[in-house]
Amino acid sequence: MPRPRLEVGELGEVAYLQLAHRKVRARGRFRDAAGRVKYAQATGTSQAAARRALEAVVRERTGDVGQDVTGATTVDQLAVEWVRELEQSKLRARTVAEYRALVDRAVLPALGGLALREVTVGRVQRFLAALAESTPAKARNTKVVLSEMFALAVRHDALQHNPVAGTRLPHADRKPPKALSPDEYRALRANVAAWQAAPADTGRPRTPDLVDVLDVLAGTGLRIGELCALRWFDVDLDGERPTLTVAGTVTQVSGQGLVRQPVPKTDAGHRTVMLPRFVVAVLLRRSVNVQEGDGSGLVFPSAALTLRSPHNLRRQLRDARGDGFEWVTPHTLRRSAATAIDRAMGTDPAAAQLGHASPAVTGLHYVERAALAPDLTAVLEGFAGGTANESGDIAGT
């Protein structure tokens, strides 16, 4: 039976020869970039080391794996090349970090050792379906990552079809957005104020400005990362209509730690919003009480006068929100702002305030549907067939 044909750049069976103590030669055949079968050899201190050296020789003679993805390339190797392309693209550092985390934590543990030609529609479907059972949102994002990875494989002619394209995620019931009413917000605020004033359980004092954080989030609809990135340079309290400009976000980047990204999460996120009076009051007070030696320029710095971690801020708000508000997160305040604006002025202004490119996103994910429809009886009276008399009966019917 003839030996199976090697893919271009693929290394075939390797033969090893012990040349001396801690010196092993590895020799094998491979197909070069022109499709011709050739032989290469390399030495190392062990069989494993010799094979790695041989693989390096083959890569050098056929082109880097990053330039020649084949059906024999593993998902691990494809991921390296795909992440490399991401890092060279114009994507924001936060987006690249999130995609890399999905690759490392979801894709590679399940599929990393498979050759690309072994990845079938059915295999991907089973993987995504199992992931969707526990974390539907993670499954959706992982499917996006996988689709982009295998699109790269298709562009390199390693595969004829993208195996992710034929998969379908199970339908997941989407929870409707839930927002705070003004009365609920005041109760939440009172809980947080009481928590701030109470003595700490440990020797470390409690965060003193969580109420300010709540007021600015509720009064602007900012994302928590945008709030942590807000600088005094971005705030104009002297104009006839005080404003703040969203011009960055704080995010965690692998290998760098906490960084201020000089652009918001999305292009539409760069926006200037007018400030309600209670937010102006909060910011004026904070501007007067800037700590001595605070050169950060941040409106909400950490206790060490450095970038504030959104993760830590979320944890502090969980500790402070109190009974009955376990469902409230910083994003709830964003939804609350969107809902209030939507009910007063419509979805388009709400989308502009939140920095959404599409009002459809705002309406679907951020605006709580009203339980009681507005009073439109005056409009509907136009359908009456006659004139209503004093008793409310319709004359002429």
**How many residues are present in the chain?**
397
> Under a CB-based contact definition with an 8 Å cutoff, are residues 95 and 81 in contact?
no
* Residue 65 confidence (pLDDT): 42
Residue 396 has pLDDT above 60, yes or no: no
Domain 182-365 = CATH 1.10.443.10: yes
Looking at the predicted structure, is the pLDDT value of residue 187 above 50? yes
Q: Is the pLDDT reported for residue 202 higher than 70?
A: no
| Weakest-pLDDT range from 134-138, 143-147, 184-188, 377-381 | 377-381
Q: Which of 181-195, 239-253, 314-328 has the lowest mean pLDDT?
A: 239-253
Q: Residue 363: is its pLDDT beyond 60? A: yes
Mapping DSSP onto H, E and C, the string for the chain reads CCCCCCCECCEEEEEEEEEECCEEEEEEEEECCCCCEEEEEEEECCHHHHHHHHHHHHHHHHCCCCCCCCCCCEHHHHHHHHHHHHHHCCCCHHHHHHHHHHHHHHHHHHHCCCEHHHCCHHHHHHHHHHHHHHCHHHHHHHHHHHHHHHHHHHHCCCCCCCCCCCCCCCCCCCCCCCCCCHHHHHHHHHHHHHHHHCCCCCCCCCCCCHHHHHHHHHHHCCCHHHHHHCEHHHEECCCCCCEEEECCEEEEECCCEEEEECCCCCHHHCEEEECCHHHHHHHHHHHHCCCCCCCCCECCCCCCCCCCCHHHHHHHHHHHCCCCCCCCCHHHHHHHHHHHHHHHHCHHHHHHHHCCCCHHHHHHHCCCCCCCCCCCHHHHHHHCCCCECCCCCECCC
Pairing of strands 37-44, 235-236: unpaired
How many percent of the chain have pLDDT more than 70? 92
Show the CA angle centred on residue 359, arms to residues 353 and 360, nearest 5°: 145
- Start-end of CATH 1.10.150.130 domains in the chain: 75-155
CATH 1.10.443.10 placement within the chain: 182-365
Tell me if 329 sits within 8 A of 317, measured CB to CB: yes
Query: Which stretch of 5-14, 276-285, 374-383 has the lowest confidence by average pLDDT?
Result: 374-383
Q: What was the pLDDT predicted at 66? A: 45
pTM (two decimals): 0.66
Distance CA(75)–CA(130), nearest Å, equals 19
- pLDDT band for 388, please (50, 70, 90 cuts): low
- Cα-atom radius of gyration of the chain, to the nearest Å? 30
Q: What is the pLDDT of residue 1?
A: 56
Which segment of 159-173, 262-276, 310-324, 362-376 scores lowest on mean pLDDT?
Answer: 362-376
Provide CB contacts within 8 A for 3, sequence distance 6+. 12
Q: Is 63 left (phi over 0), alpha (psi -120 to 50) or beta?
A: left
User: Per-residue pLDDT for 237 more than 90?
Assistant: yes
pLDDT per position as a tens digit, 49-79: 999 899 888 888 876 544 578 888 999 999 9
Distances (CA, A) of 334 to 24, 163, 287, 359: 63, 37, 24, 15
Asked if residue 103 has pLDDT above 50, the reply is yes
If one counts every other C-beta atom within 10 angstroms of the C-beta of residue 16, the result is 16
The one-letter code for the residue type at 218 is A
Residue with tokens 């980047």: 253
Q: Which CATH class is domain 75-155?
A: mainly alpha
- Residue 16 sits at φ, ψ, to 5 deg, of -115, 145
Calculate mean pLDDT across residues 105-116.
92
Average pLDDT in the chain: 87
